[in-house]
Amino acid sequence: MKIQERKLRAAVKRAYQVPFIRRKMQEQGVAPDDIRGLEDLSKLPFTTKEDLLKGGLFDALAVPRSGVVRVHTSSGTTNRPVVTFYTRNDLETWSELLARNLAAIGAKPGDVFLNTAGQGMFTGGLGYIAGAERLGLTVVPMGPASPERQLEVMKIFGVTVFHAIPSFALRIADAAERLGIDVERELSLRLGILGAEPWTEEMRRLIEERLGIKAYNNYGAAELGGPGVAVECIAQQGMHVWEDHFIVEVVDPKTGEQLEPEENGELVITPLWREAMPLLRYRTRDVACILDERKCECGREMAKISWIHGRLDDMIKVRGIGLYPSAIEKVILRHPEVNGEYLVTLEGYDDVKVKVEVKEQVLNTGRAEELAEQLSRELKATTMLKMKVELLPPGTLPRREGKARRVLDLRGVHGGG
């Protein structure tokens, strides 16, 4: 893409203003003028989260501090969140990207948009509100509140589109069920844009079914400016990357070598639009692939990435086998008896227990034992690991504010063996 090459050259020049990036480029013996086209991309050094956390708070800036009109932070699990900066132009581009995200899933003027993400430090709050306003939707900037309260507000304003993390969408479905709300008849919901948390297509189907909506995945990271990197379109077959603003690569996480389409590896993303905080070849730690097929029934020809299979840091190692929690989720959520809540517990000497909430009637009919055995068999077949499955009534597993925790690793916690 011509536009990508032109923007890449400019982005590299901007990034060269950032001392740690300049140092890395010099170490690699590459100057901004060496980068002419996409074929030169692999000459550039990677940047990582460690780079951003190592230096001072403002070390990633490519503009004077007075040029920064907004800061946000990641919701990072590390001690210090990553800070991300925006110039006025950056905010302008970002809101355009998020307006595009909403348009891609089929939202349009006349839709009423509720954002369950807080308008605070995290990017999904103010970001999506700006995008929705830009697209001409009616915005209900609800922010964090109980699922019951969200439902009430959805009803009052006739909300048709909402943004949330997937586990919170499930909690809204739980609350609707508890309150006896007929989601199809009493609510006007039709679209959900979900993400910022690991989830699977199986989880998507379940959320769609329980809330009577179409649900779409979207991808981003605070380091890259927030959400707005990639989004599913109505075809629901991979996420389109906004290639006029980002270059996407997939590399072998060990060697850093670029991989072919359909090969899973670490997503590496170069934002082309960021003035305040340009990054080159940012290693996301997220595992996915670039899809071979560009043609899409929506008409867009932007490259598509797969769903994220997991984060490199979240891989569970059990008896020498490595797996992502998503592999377990995919097996469990294929069954109509479950409600979407589950917890994987690792204990003792690599004992894996999977607790799964099922619908009330399943436990009452004696189908439970059979289902538990079936799940255990299917998990063994998919992951090669023996797992004990325990079925629980709905509402038993702890829900938490913020991102869901699906894995509890207690190995070594109790001391001894």
Token readout for 73 is 């932070």
**C-beta of 79: minimal distance to Zn ion in Å?**
39
Using CB under 5 A, which of 30, 235, 363, 407 touches Zn ion? 235
Residue for token pair 């609350």: 175
Degrees to nearest 5, angle at CA 133 with 247 and 95: 20
Nearby residues of 23 by Cβ (< 8 Å), 6 or more positions away: none
Token readout for 278 is 């340009």
**C-beta of 224: minimal distance to Zn ion in Å?**
21
Is there binding between residue 291 and Zn ion (CB under 5 A)? no
**C-beta of 236: minimal distance to Zn ion in Å?**
9
What angle do the packed helices 201-211 and 166-178 form, to 10 degrees?
Answer: 30
Q: Which of 383, 282, 379, 394 is nearest to 342 (CA)?
A: 394
Is there binding between residue 175 and Zn ion (CB under 5 A)? no
Between 298 and 392, whose beta carbon lies closer to Zn ion? 298
**C-beta of 284: minimal distance to Zn ion in Å?**
22
Between 49 and 240, whose beta carbon lies closer to Zn ion? 240
Token readout for 97 is 């990207």
- The answer to whether 221 and 229 are in contact (CB under 8 A) is yes
**C-beta of 109: minimal distance to Zn ion in Å?**
21
Q: Which stretch binds Zn ion (CB under 5 A): 127-135, 198-206, 300-308, 394-402?
A: 300-308
- Phi/psi for 179 (5° steps) reads -85, 0
Using CB under 5 A, which of 233, 280, 287, 387 touches Zn ion? 233
Between 257 and 293, whose beta carbon lies closer to Zn ion? 293
Between 165 and 193, whose beta carbon lies closer to Zn ion? 193
Using CB under 5 A, which of 153, 298, 312, 368 touches Zn ion? 298
Between 86 and 219, whose beta carbon lies closer to Zn ion? 219
**C-beta of 229: minimal distance to Zn ion in Å?**
15
Using CB under 5 A, which of 1, 175, 296, 363 touches Zn ion? 296
Between 1 and 296, whose beta carbon lies closer to Zn ion? 296
Is there binding between residue 302 and Zn ion (CB under 5 A)? no
Q: Which stretch binds Zn ion (CB under 5 A): 174-182, 227-235, 324-332, 399-407?
A: 227-235
Size of the site for Zn ion (CB under 5 A): 5
Q: Which stretch binds Zn ion (CB under 5 A): 269-277, 289-297, 339-347, 401-409?
A: 289-297
Between 296 and 368, whose beta carbon lies closer to Zn ion? 296
Is there binding between residue 332 and Zn ion (CB under 5 A)? no
**C-beta of 233: minimal distance to Zn ion in Å?**
3
Between 233 and 343, whose beta carbon lies closer to Zn ion? 233
Please state, in angstroms and rounded to a whole number, the distance separating the CA atoms of residues 163 and 172. 12
Catalog residues that contact Zn ion under the rule CB under 5 A.
Answer: 233, 235, 296, 298, 300
